[in-house]
A = this chain, B = another copy of it.
Amino acid sequence: MGRKTIDLKDAAEVFRDFYRAEGRMPSFTEIAEAFGYKSKNAAFELVEKLVDEGLLTKDARGRLRLASVGVRVLGTIQAGLPTTAEQDQMESVSLDSYLVEKPEETFLVKVQGDSMIDAGIHEGDMVLVERGRTAREGDIVVARVDGDWTLKTFERRAGQAVLVAANKRYPIIKPLNELTFGGVVIGVVRKY
């Protein structure tokens, strides 16, 4: 046979790393460099195998594309986790596009304190805040009350806009002078 045999899964990993670092797929010249080939054709044939395996895709003009960007979605937990054979047919979703609609207006903010713990937002969690969206009752908002920025639920009590913590140990905040909305929390992200 030939010289070395590489695991195709490992090869696909190299492509994914390149895509993450560069934001695009490598050219055949770059693939050859990455794998230590001296010929583009060696890279070409490697890509053909990966396409056959379904790990890569090509578009009409031959440009490469990752078969699975993001994470695959499994319906419910009841079925257990899928095997390698089953997972090919599963839909794959990018967490960025799943959670964020307006990247230009969205920010990731680290949560301090436990004032929203009953809403499942713990200290150290990251909340996705969209700036400029109008807050509706019940929305969790980033707001500036009398000089301080806080993370609270926006509600109305007797016609007045108030900020309510999701923790019984915190009082309801009734803005005296100032109430500015920084943004609305559109999502929560936690990493263990």
Give chain A's interface residues, CB within 8 Å of chain B.
9, 12-13, 16, 20, 22-25, 59, 63, 65-66, 68-82, 87, 93-100, 103-104, 106-112, 117, 120-122, 125, 128-129, 131, 139-140, 142, 144, 149-151, 182-183, 185-192
In the complex where A9-B104, A120-B122, A128-B71 touch, is A76 in contact with B23 (Cβ < 8 A)? no
Is B103 a contact of A82 with CB atoms below 8 Å? no
Q: Are B120 and A16 in contact (CB under 8 A)?
A: no
Residue of B nearest to A151 (CB): B77
Q: How many copies does the complex hold?
A: 2
**Chain B residue with minimal CB distance to A57?**
B23
Interface residues of chain A: helix, strand, loop or mixed (majority): mixed
Query: 5 A-B residue contacts at CB 8 Å?
Result: A68-B104, A76-B110, A81-B142, A82-B107, A95-B95
